[in-house]
């Protein structure tokens, strides 16, 4: 079966609003009835894996088991060449704010600043290239699964520009563009980004 032949319900196993918007929109042409993990009130599992694939499977398995439906999960992140591929699988963690008086939460501006600060330590001629990577896990309630990975190359710019995307979008300039992912229309971003490239493999696959 190909994705286009599936006519049942599918859980989008994410609580991230930016990813959810992209994944819903990628799935929309296939007429699949999608519901998100958040809408089902599913808890967010701990991402204890050390690779995108492991974490995508943790999220996909948790949602597929809890909802008894096929689930599509994404684990993604920014890999910066000069930082040895970091933050990589820890991209979301780098935005984790310490909670003193305020609410704990994620601070993307702080996270982008942390990447920039580490790049700056390498001097003005540092290699600013990197990539966004996405690994999609399609998991069935019985435990069968398939994995599809995609990436997009680009470079990091500073200061951040644009408010159309999410996460690290304002500092990422995809190869061949001058605009950041935060500046281009999100419909355009989701035609060319890492998740779209992984999703294309899912669409072509037989499972
Ligand atoms: P995780 O997959 O839940 O571990 O989170 C990955 C993190 O990578 C997200 O929370 C974002 O900060 C970042 N990220 C992944 N994809 C994108 C993207 O398309 N744009 C900007 N940031 C992204």
What is the enclosing helix (H) or strand (E) of 74?
Answer: strand 71-80
> What pLDDT does residue 7 have?
87
> What pLDDT does residue 69 have?
97
Q: How far is the CA of 130 from the centre of ligand 1 (A)?
A: 14
The DSSP 8-state label assigned to residue 204 in this structure reads H
Residue 128, number of CB atoms within 10 A of its CB = 18
> What pLDDT does residue 106 have?
85
Q: Looking at ligand 1, which atom is closest to the CA of residue 169?
A: 21
Choosing from 49, 63, 91 the residue with most ligand 1 atoms within 8 A of its CB, the one to mutate for a pocket test is 91
> What pLDDT does residue 44 have?
94
> What pLDDT does residue 102 have?
58
Structure token digits, residue 117:
């600060």
* Catalytic residue from among 75, 93, 125, 193: 75
Class of domain 3-206: alpha beta
Residue pLDDT tens, the chain, 207 long: 999 999 899 999 999 999 999 999 999 999 999 999 999 999 999 999 999 999 999 999 999 999 999 999 999 999 999 999 999 999 999 998 876 665 567 899 999 999 999 999 999 999 999 999 999 999 999 999 999 999 999 999 999 999 999 999 999 999 999 999 999 998 999 999 999 999 999 999 998
CA distance 15 to 43: 9
Residue 136 Ramachandran class (φ > 0 left, ψ -120 to 50 alpha, else beta): beta
- What residues contact 144, with CB distance under 8 A and at least 6 apart? none
If you write DSSP's letter for every residue of 104-132 in order, what string do you get? -EE-HHHHHHHHHHHHHTT-TT---EEEE
> What pLDDT does residue 74 have?
98
Does 33 participate in catalysis according to the annotation?
no
| Residue 154 beta carbon below 6 angstroms from any ligand 1 atom | no
Q: How far is the CA of 167 from the centre of ligand 1 (A)?
A: 6
Cut 0.85: pTM above it = yes
Q: Looking at ligand 1, which atom is closest to the CA of residue 166?
A: 21
């Amino acid at each position: 079966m190909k994705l286009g032949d599936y006519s049942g319900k599918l859980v989008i196993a994410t609580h991230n609003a930016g990813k959810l918007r992209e994944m819903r929109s990628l799935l929309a042409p296939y007429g699949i009835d999608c519901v998100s993990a958040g809408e089902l009130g599913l808890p967010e599992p701990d991402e204890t894996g050390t690779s995108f694939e492991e974490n995508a499977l943790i999220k996909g398995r948790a949602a597929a088991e809890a909802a008894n439906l096929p689930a599509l999960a994404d684990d993604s992140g920014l890999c910066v060449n000069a930082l040895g591929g970091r933050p990589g699988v820890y991209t979301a963690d780098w935005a984790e704010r310490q909670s003193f008086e305020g609410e704990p939460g994620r601070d993307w501006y702080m996270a982008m600043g942390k990447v920039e600060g580490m790049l700056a330590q390498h001097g003005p001629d540092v290699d600013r290239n990197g990539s966004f990577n996405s690994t999609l896990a399609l998991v069935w309630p019985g435990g069968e699964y398939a994995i599809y990975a995609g990436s997009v190359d680009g470079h990091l710019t500073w200061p951040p520009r644009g408010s159309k995307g999410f996460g690290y979008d304002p500092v990422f300039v995809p190869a061949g563009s001058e605009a950041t992912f935060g500046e281009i229309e999100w419909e355009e971003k989701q035609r060319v980004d890492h998740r779209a490239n992984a999703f294309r493999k899912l669409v072509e696959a037989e499972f």
